Structure 1
Amino acid sequence: MAQHILIAGGGSAGWMAAALFARLRPAPETRITLIESEAIGTIGVGEATVPILRDFNRLLGLDEPDFVAATQGSFKLGIEFVGWGEAGNRHFHGFADFGPPIEGVAPHHHWHRVREAGRIADPIDAWSMPACAAAEDRFAPPEALRGEAGEYRYAYHFDAGLYARLLRSYAEARRVVRVEGRILGVERDPGTGDLATLRLDGDRAIAADLFIDCTGFASRLLGEALGTPFVDWSRWLPADRALAQGCTRAGRFTPFTRATAHTVGWQWRIPLQHRTGNGLVYSSAHLSDDEAAARLAANLDGDAIGDPRPLRFTTGRRERFWAHNVVAIGLAAGFMEPLESTSLQLVQTGLGRLAELMPSQGPTDPAIVAEYNRQTIGEYARIRDFLIAHYCSSRRPEPFWRDMAAMALPDSLAHKLALWDAMGRVPLHDLESHAEASWVAVLLGQGRMPRGHDPAADRPPLQAVEKMFAARRAALLAALPRLPAHDHFVARTCRADAAREPRIQCRYPKGETIS
């Protein structure tokens, strides 16, 4: 068992690692150290999340209202896509399905059948509770509703810097030691090649057994020190620039993220309590930095706060994520553009996988390392394919979008889309991050209509299926008034200016509660 876990780098990834292993300390005597430098700073634009972050916070014992208040947060039912299929198109990727299966067949097949018969015309979003609630800016946890209307999930928007600060307090209260300093180099064991020591400024050195690389794009340990190559995916996801810009809150306080397509790339909008987060993701081969800045400035809801922060990146991943006794987490492991808010998801799943596979006989067991890499490589590939599907399914006429629609796809995605086009099925593989309903929301939302549907959907009488859809639609509309407005819910339950200290309750195996 690792006696000393050393986390290189702070930010959301570093402090999530520190908090998790402080909570799940492998052994009572295990020491955890985090090294970061205030002079280096962090990216800090991971402000939208997916529902599994709720599991992470619950594991730590973070009280939800206090967590949202401490991070100036809000709630997220999904993502509204504007202009992706074509200019003027809108669709919603919500965290729910479009109803229960009908005779064992997913609801979108029945929707396709009834639509082809000319019996309904509404988009499939009409049967998504998150989409219906988001259209009216309403939010409450699903426990507020009963029956099918309450079968949805939710996530958060928050200030990433404030989240890291909250996790730092949590971790330091649980014996994690923070060291201020810059990493100058490493020393490796001449026999095994493992990392032995990190050399810091001030003529300091820290030895450890297991190193977690959270040094961002630099990937100081896995990439630089161990020479692990980077696998470039820019031929499929060519956006390589982003500008992040906060602005004063104005307009709707939406319980969703908005992703608006432009002639080159797209723009995000993330509502927080104290500001609105905005950003433009684009390809530098198609748009200059000055043009991008002007376009972003012209599409802000409120007055700009500070100057836009530039970010340069290449979408892809390290060839391996665990090598010797180094595991890379976050940007040190790879980067997936922020279209589906997967950055913190990959941090969380990477840490969870490491916790599950933490070896009892030392951190370099080849079988454990190989399994960690196998699972993580698969997860990155599945997310990559999901992101590409947003681009290649567009029918926009601009050169950037035409190039994306005409690209040669990875074999795994080509197979998925071919089966979808034939009969509306999405073959899910091992380690999928997105369920079939997510693919359905994006593909149907962008107007990628399959030629057919599951033949089993033809079994029930058409009129009976039509009545089922009408009943579900009526049930959703009847449930909506029971949900408060998003701004009212936030103000009532988790307003950031409410005087409070975040409550933390963690129940450990022996049953004692630490508050």
Structure 2
Amino acid sequence: MIPPTTEAPITRLVIVGGGSAGWMTAAAVSRLVDAGVAVTLVESDEIGTVGVGEATIPPLLDFNAALGIDEDEFVAATQGTFKLGIEFVDWGKRGDKYIHPFGKYGRPMLGINFHQIWLRQHLLGGDADPGPVDDYAISIAAARRGRFAKPANNPEAVLSGLAYAYHFDAGLYARFLRGHAEARGVARIEGKIANVEQAPLDGYITAVVLEDGRRIEGDFFVDCSGFRALLLGQTLSVPYRSWQHWLPCDSALAVPSASVAPPTPYTRSSAERGGWRWRIPLQHRVGNGHVFSSAHTDEETALRRLLDGLDAPTIADPRLLRFTAGRREKLWEKNCVAIGLAGGFIEPLESTSIHLIQSGIFRLMSLFPDRGFSGIEIDEYNRWLIEEYEHIRDFIILHYHATERADSDFWNHCRTMDIPDSLAARIELWREKGRIFRAHNSLFTEESWIAVLLGQNIVPRAADPLVAMLPVGETVQFMNHMREIVARTAEAMPTHEDYIAMNCAMARQVAQ
């Protein structure tokens, strides 16, 4: 019989850094306080946070639910809006426009995937042509009409194919989570870290020392210090692996503008000659930015394109951010885990930054250590997170590579560059008969890949042979009915603005 472990439990957990990463971590681990773990978060008001990640993806609903957060109160507190997907403008070629929806396209017929039925009809053309695939996604139909409702629980209802996420003010979200965490016993310490102490024999971190001399000792440390990676990078010297040869954008300008129209229930990404611009609608303002490659666009030009693309006056000065897409060689080393930007950064094209924070936290909670710090468990954490980073990396590269644009050096580079073998194999499999398979721990669904591949004009050569068992006349009728019911369902939904007013405004009044 194997004896039970005798390693001492973690009793002092120290989180270095605030922002979304720090306070999401603190809120999640606050449940450990009742189990005797002292949780301390160290941050300095003098050190700003990046705070551009105001758009999210559907898994955040699971994170908030795990914390017991009321959705309407959360949206009210963060000046949030709802997000049904991302609109991509000018990505495949200039003049193109498509939405990557959250949720599903249509529904299967006799067990055959909907997109295969659509593809067969599209390739037949003529009277069988089903029109744009966008017409069959309830999330897209609602987004185009500025409408929003919750998904239906009935799997037979068209509305069951809808999924959603949020836009929110990242600073307000961090503040909201701080209140949640502190109410459950997390201690916040204000101060700048001057030194990190390590054990002389094994290099494990033992304490952080503030500028005023205070020492905060810990058994386990979470590095949420942003791009500085104060613990994992600077102290433990875990190298950074750059993906800039695939993702050349290395700069971003961000600026808020006034909200002059009802908020759209989707994010917009508009391709530019040297990068792309984002538009994220909140209740009280609109977040805007220009992500660009400094090797192809200078800062002055990028700023001009950003400001020229605004639909309302700015309400603050633009901020410049510099970054290198990539990740640390490990996300967990010794007694330190990096969460958020300290572990890696993949540009915000598909709103994955908040998700990678969440994923790191969930995986940490499932592998929470004792003071023995099992190498097997640490390896499993790193394997899982690294795979997820690389799956997301491939999906982001797809947007750049799958383009017909040849109007700038930037797009010529992206269109012709070598891509990871994993992505090349996926694209070639798709080109044959429209087959797409989701990896076991991949964030993005088959529908996500279908949206971008079709949206950027990569149409397979043929459909799945199984579709031939369906008579063309029946599939034409099926498609017409599906398109009609999707449109009718979207028209019956409340406007996005009205939904927020009816639900989240009431939550704000109750909170006050």
TM-score with structure 2 length normalisation?
0.95
Q: How far did 1:97 drift?
A: 1.6
- State the distance in 2 between where 1:392 and 1:110 align: 26
SS at match of 2:505: coil
Aligned partner letter, 2:10: A
Q: How far did 1:116 drift?
A: 1.1
Task: List aligned pairs for 1:257-268, cutoff 5 A.
Answer: 257-268=267-278
Equivalent residue, structure 1, for 2:328: 318
SS at match of 2:511: coil
Contact 1:2 1:363 in 2 (8 A): no
Matched, 1:15 2:39: no
- State the distance in 1 between where 2:296 and 2:261 align: 31
- State the distance in 2 between where 1:479 and 1:54 align: 23
Runs of 4+ in structure 1 over 6 Å off? none
- State the distance in 1 between where 2:107 and 2:220 align: 45
Partner residue of 1:134 out of 139, 143, 150: 143
Contact 1:5 1:208 in 2 (8 A): yes
Partner residue of 1:153 out of 142, 158, 163: 163
Matched, 1:105 2:112: yes
Partner residue of 2:132 out of 116, 119, 123: 123
Partner residue of 1:270 out of 266, 273, 280: 280
Q: How far did 1:60 drift?
A: 1.0
Partner residue of 1:436 out of 446, 464, 487: 446
Q: How far did 1:148 drift?
A: 2.4
Contact 2:83 2:266 in 1 (8 A): yes
Matched, 1:184 2:194: yes
- Report how many aligned residue pairs link the two structures: 500
Partner residue of 1:485 out of 478, 482, 495: 495
Aligned partner letter, 1:78: G
Equivalent residue, structure 1, for 2:310: 300
Equivalent residue, structure 1, for 2:4: none
- State the distance in 1 between where 2:33 and 2:504 align: 34
Contact 2:18 2:43 in 1 (8 A): yes
Deviates more, 1:426-435 or 1:301-310: 426-435
Contact 1:140 1:483 in 2 (8 A): yes
Equivalent residue, structure 2, for 1:371: 380
Contact 1:70 1:496 in 2 (8 A): no
Show CA shifts across 1:233-256 (max 9, x none): 000000000001100012452000
Contact 1:125 1:132 in 2 (8 A): yes
Equivalent residue, structure 1, for 2:6: none
Aligned partner letter, 1:131: I
Q: How far did 1:479 drift?
A: 1.1
Matched, 1:82 2:92: no
Task: List aligned pairs for 1:273-352, cutoff 5 A.
Answer: 273-352=283-362
Q: How far did 1:105 drift?
A: 2.4
Show CA shifts across 1:434-468 (max 9, x none): 01110000110111111112211222112112221
Contact 2:79 2:283 in 1 (8 A): yes
Task: List aligned pairs for 1:164-203, cutoff 5 A.
Answer: 164-203=174-213
Q: What is the root-mean-square deviation of aligned Cα atoms in Å?
A: 1.5
Show CA shifts across 1:59-78 (max 9, x none): 11111111101000100000
Equivalent residue, structure 1, for 2:44: 37
Q: How far did 1:496 drift?
A: 8.7
Equivalent residue, structure 2, for 1:412: 422
Q: How far did 1:185 drift?
A: 1.6
Aligned partner letter, 1:19: A
Q: How far did 1:27 drift?
A: 6.0
Partner residue of 1:392 out of 396, 401, 404: 401
**Where do 5+ consecutive residues of structure 1 fail to align?**
503-515
- State the distance in 2 between where 1:139 and 1:494 align: 13
Partner residue of 2:229 out of 219, 225, 243: 219
- State the distance in 1 between where 2:276 and 2:69 align: 33
Equivalent residue, structure 2, for 1:4: 12
Q: How far did 1:482 drift?
A: 2.3
- State the distance in 2 between where 1:481 and 1:102 align: 25
- State the distance in 2 between where 1:143 and 1:192 align: 54
Show CA shifts across 1:289-337 (max 9, x none): 0111111111111111111011100000000000000000000000000
Contact 2:105 2:161 in 1 (8 A): no
- State the distance in 2 between where 1:449 and 1:211 align: 48
Q: How far did 1:414 drift?
A: 0.7
SS at match of 1:395: coil
Deviates more, 1:147-156 or 1:328-337: 147-156
Matched, 1:59 2:69: no
Matched, 1:402 2:412: yes
Contact 1:379 1:433 in 2 (8 A): yes
Show CA shifts across 1:209-250 (max 9, x none): 110000000000000000000000000000000001100012
- State the distance in 1 between where 2:506 and 2:357 align: 26
TM-score with structure 1 length normalisation?
0.95
Contact 1:241 1:312 in 2 (8 A): yes
Aligned partner letter, 2:108: P
Change (3 A) 1:497 1:109: closer
Contact 1:216 1:330 in 2 (8 A): yes
Show CA shifts across 1:44-89 (max 9, x none): 1110000111111111111111110100010000001111111110
Q: How far did 1:5 drift?
A: 0.8
- State the distance in 2 between where 1:350 and 1:267 align: 28
SS at match of 2:318: strand
- State the distance in 2 between where 1:343 and 1:457 align: 38
Contact 1:105 1:456 in 2 (8 A): yes
- State the distance in 2 between where 1:442 and 1:238 align: 20
- State the distance in 1 between where 2:167 and 2:272 align: 23
Task: List aligned pairs for 1:350-369, cutoff 5 A.
Answer: 350-359=360-369, 361-362=370-371, 364-369=373-378
Q: How far did 1:350 drift?
A: 0.4
- State the distance in 1 between where 2:386 and 2:33 align: 25
Q: How far did 1:263 drift?
A: 1.2
Percent identity (aligned): 46
SS at match of 2:316: strand
Equivalent residue, structure 1, for 2:217: 207
Q: How far did 1:362 drift?
A: 2.4
Matched, 1:93 2:103: no
- State the distance in 1 between where 2:283 and 2:354 align: 20
SS at match of 2:509: coil
Aligned partner letter, 1:383: I
- State the distance in 2 between where 1:484 and 1:52 align: 24
